[in-house]
A and B are shown apart, each in its own frame.
Chain A
């Protein structure tokens, strides 16, 4: 074993408590990175499986009233002569619902199932791998076999009797798709589905895989920072196919919202790494200071500076690697637990099926971030002790303030600017922690106790021993405060939006629009006590002054004031006025009072934006117009959705049955509201857990620093002991010291946390997703992290103190 390695190992063993605490800090930091990465993959996987289309790798669905397979062949021919750019696959799809009869011994004997027919040979290549046994059993082509969605009561090998076909259909494998309804999904060949559903030649929709150009760096950035790519689904112009309505499977609120959450979680996982860097730095500074004489002797013996630096960096590498490996293993376990917290009981199964690339990326990040931070912090610590890094705190502060100001003021700096502003604010606070501590400790006061005087003196003269660790604690607490403020404000705003939008008892959607006859039948089904409000939605274009044309969705209701209240507008709309959603307004810098040009299939108008409404979960512009404006833009169109209020349970059941027969999508607004809030709360519990991890890392860092302080105060303790200090007084001394540090950290963290909260609500989220969150301060968001910070500091101080007192270490000289 080389001398270098032996020296490093010896040093690590000699300072084993420091080593252990640094390993613990790295472990916690890496754990959070790995957990967030694996969770992000599980969330994305869940979203991909959320519908058969998504599960099979399709990106769009094309709809048209009364779709026939001849339409599909015509479109396919257009595609093959190059008419549909970037399309890689077209798939005919037919869906319907039937009742299947099972084997005599199976229960229940009769089971409603959802039949989805498609042409597996038309699927994109990678998607075929999602259908097991496609290349092992040819019977699906001749109509006697199919696949069942995972998680149903039906089993592989089971035979089903289905209407309109001779002979049973045997289930040959399970497919990892999730049914959007409660019934299991039976995937069969398109010809088989047409016979089962007795719909020869018919299709429901055409699935499309269209490759969206994605820069390579974006793919890498998404892997490094899950959630960053959530905005990549936002396209400037919607893809249009003449004669069809286009549904984008990936550009939906659920995916964007999940991306937003993952984006925030990724940032928090990095926070732990940053705080761990502070921990290592502080520990390293203390350790190197204790070995100053040893280093001087080594230099005198002729050891060059490079080797000394190498030894120190190597120490950091070894502890970081150990911590990273632990963090990787624990991160996997924690991911399962966090996933359970956020996603429900399916989390474990999702992680069990994690792809090799996801695991490889998680391992790579763990084994890179940890050692990077470890080695970097040790190098900086060595340089700061031996003067290689010149301290330019004032310059750094000015730089931080400029970065903060620039990032906030110039929206062109985008998300990166917002992140840098937050980082700059945190760094500035960390830089000021030490001087503020000294200032506070030295401030003149009246009569004080001996314990108080001793601690103030210690804080004033030995701030270097703790200020870096304290800085880490300040950042962690400030982030906890900021996140807490952001989440509480977001929830309030989100709930307000849900209350506005989800005001009906039931909401029914038809992709191709309701005919007058269907509307009449709906009215008779829901009963005379219910009210029906129709909603028309069409795709068009919008252009603001000096900007390019942007695709937009247009919504126009029956025109009543209640409809407009859903978008927070007291209504009615003034002539020539429109409401625009916030993401759309931000994309073009539009404010109320601006003129915009809007275009539809029937005309173009110049209208005034009278108000902007919040639209969490939307990625593209949505415009609310008056019915007459809609008619002028799009002509006479069929309503695509109806909202029904005043529905009782009897009529509700009849409504859902009728909707199902017609394959309309239905939802209960109340259920959606409860589910949305439950998902919100569940997912943000994750951020709480990650912030607590960061605080834990910071507390470990402070503990480490206070252990070093204890050693340096040994002579002081001996003197006090000789003066007759009791055990209780020693305890009070240590707790006082730790408490003062905790209070100081909280006092610095509070304004920083308020600033971070404001930046998250008003700068980062708007730039990242186009949503702003109204900012207000709640006592709970401030007090809980403050109390945790103080408790953590007391714990970090109490343990070394207790150990000192009990073992009487200070008596050994």
Chain B
């Protein structure tokens, strides 16, 4: 299952027309209001010629760490909950989206491509109550943007996430934006193996729509970040989501709430709930309980429930639920998820909320942290 639907929706809408996203200044940008996920991701007329995720595929690595150009959309999604030596909390996000405009290659001129890439970069400084984001848009070109499997590397206009050697880890993220910079090393002891979401990597989203989806849920991270003029050394845990598909959303879906959580016990949780226009619970809501040893228990709609709590209203009048209750069969008494900072809105071409969250039990005891994504509001 993908948490990137709304973002992907925006990407598809934007990149289908080459919307022209300029790296946004922090807090500013080119917000597109009223973008509806369902209207974009459910466009079967645009799917002709592209491959579709219909049956579980044998995912092989490192091959599938790289791009899948026969599918229309794809992304590499990295988030991390970090702290500096003084214990101050930070969130980091680097995302690269790929969108194909046509199934076949245009020509042998590297400028003429049918692939566009969109990069998002964001840092949250909880102590300073600051969130900064940046964006880059480029066509697929060896010197501008692209992805490869061996050695693994994705890049867009100076931002790079890639392996330092022959194996996937250790990996290095090097991204310098307008007001944010990430220089992180990923990997090391405690890295959990890849988790195939859904049915052996086939993540269903509707009766006739699915994607291929796997996660690297727990990755030790260390390095430095810069937000505005401050540079700090940080350590923490990262999470990478990988997904590719063609036209994955069903009718009536307007948004998405997604959570990727690291519990202090060593357990990781991924859950999402689809937001339907009629407000009803979608039968394709799903999640994954990732045990300490890396084994996986899938969660169906009957296994968990997400209930929104406190709402934060942004300057444009949108209401974002920044607190949630998660009740699940494995959660014990239940979990409370709170945004570390209310305003972690991505003011990019598509406006969505993506940010650092803290996890508590129902008694208020800290249980961990993670990332939350809210779309379609």
Contact = CB atoms under 8 A, between A and B. Distances in A.
B176 A80 contact: yes
Task: List the 3 closest pairs (A to B, CB-CB), nearest first.
Answer: A191-B111, A125-B22, A80-B158
Interface residues of A, number: 34
A189 interface: yes
B114 A134 contact: no
Given A89-B22, A143-B107, 6 more contacts: A124-B22, A129-B20, A141-B106, A141-B113, A191-B109, A194-B109
Given A80-B157, A121-B138, A194-B109, A142 B18 contact: no
B110 interface: yes
Nearest to B107: A143
Given A76-B157, A121-B138, A142-B106, A135 B112 contact: no
A192 B139 contact: no
Nearest to B138: A121
B336 to A, nearest CB: 40
Contacts of B112: 141-143, 189, 191-192, 195
B96 interface: no
Nearest to B13: A135
Contact of B20 (A69, A76, A77, A120): A120
A89 B157 CA distance: 12
Contacts of A126: 22
A302 interface: no
Interface string B121-148: 0000000000000000111000110000
Interface in A34-88: 69, 73, 76-77, 80-82
A138 B16 contact: yes
A135 B158 contact: no
Contacts of B137: 121
Nearest to B115: A141
Contacts of A89: 22
A190 B18 contact: no
A128 interface: yes
Nearest to B110: A191
A225 interface: no
A87 to B, nearest CB: 12
A77 B158 contact: yes
Contacts of A137: 17
Given A80-B157, A141-B101, A141-B139, A120 B110 contact: no
B311 interface: no
Interface string A776-789: 00000000000000
Interface of A: 69, 73, 76-77, 80-82, 89, 119-126, 128-129, 134-138, 140-143, 189-192, 194-195, 200
Given A135-B14, A141-B113, A121 B176 contact: no
Given A73-B143, A143-B106, A194 B22 contact: no
A121 B18 contact: yes
A135 B101 contact: no
B102 A142 contact: yes
Given A82-B176, A141-B114, A141-B139, A134 B109 contact: no
A644 B21 CA distance: 48
B57 interface: no
B18 A81 contact: no
B19 interface: yes
Contacts of A136: 17
B109 to A, nearest CB: 5
A95 B182 CA distance: 38
A147 to B, nearest CB: 13
Interface in B1-31: 14, 16-22, 30
B100 to A, nearest CB: 11
Contacts, number: 85
20 contacts: A69-B143, A73-B144, A80-B158, A80-B176, A120-B18, A120-B20, A121-B20, A123-B20, A134-B19, A134-B20, A140-B18, A141-B18, A141-B114, A141-B116, A141-B139, A142-B112, A142-B114, A191-B109, A194-B111, A200-B109
A192 B107 CA distance: 10
Nearest to B106: A142
B119 to A, nearest CB: 12
A137 B139 CA distance: 15
A554 B112 CA distance: 42
A376 to B, nearest CB: 39
Contacts of A119: 111, 139
Interface string B66-86: 000000000000000000000
Contacts of A129: 20
Nearest to B104: A142
A23 B30 CA distance: 46
B20 A125 contact: yes
Q: Count chain A CB atoms within 10 A of each CB in B20, B21, B144, B158 and give the residue with the most.
A: B20
Contacts of B176: 80-82
A190 B111 contact: yes
A91 to B, nearest CB: 12
Contacts of A76: 143, 157-158
A121 B111 contact: no
Q: Count chain A CB atoms within 10 A of each CB in B112, B114, B158 and give the residue with the most.
A: B112
A189 B111 CA distance: 8
Contacts of A189: 111-112
B162 to A, nearest CB: 16
Given A76-B157, A77-B158, A80-B176, A134 B17 contact: yes
A129 B138 CA distance: 17
Q: Count chain A CB atoms within 10 A of each CB in B22, B111, B116 and give the residue with the most.
A: B111
Contacts of B19: 134-135
A612 B103 CA distance: 66
B18 A134 contact: yes
A654 B120 CA distance: 54
A258 to B, nearest CB: 29
A197 B337 CA distance: 59
Given A121-B139, A191-B112, A138 B17 contact: yes
Contact of A81 (B101, B102, B144, B158): B158
Contacts of B102: 142
A119 B136 CA distance: 14
A342 B20 CA distance: 37
A212 B104 CA distance: 43
A128 B158 CA distance: 21
Contacts of B17: 134-138
B180 to A, nearest CB: 13
Contacts of A128: 20, 22
B153 to A, nearest CB: 15
Contact of B101 (A69, A138, A195): A138
A449 B19 CA distance: 84
Nearest to A189: B111
A69 B142 CA distance: 12
A143 B107 CA distance: 9
Contacts of B101: 138, 141-142
A134 B144 CA distance: 20
Contacts of B22: 89, 124-126, 128
B371 to A, nearest CB: 26
A200 B108 CA distance: 11
Interface in B27-59: 30
A73 B111 CA distance: 13
Given A77-B158, A80-B157, A195 B18 contact: no
Contacts of A192: 111-112
Contacts of A138: 16-18, 101
Interface in B291-306: none
A790 to B, nearest CB: 60
A138 B102 CA distance: 10
B117 to A, nearest CB: 10
A200 B107 CA distance: 13
Contacts of A200: 109
A137 B106 CA distance: 15
Nearest to B22: A125
Nearest to A72: B143
A125 B18 contact: no
Q: Count chain B CB atoms within 10 A of each CB in A120, A129, A143, A191 and give the residue with the most.
A: A191
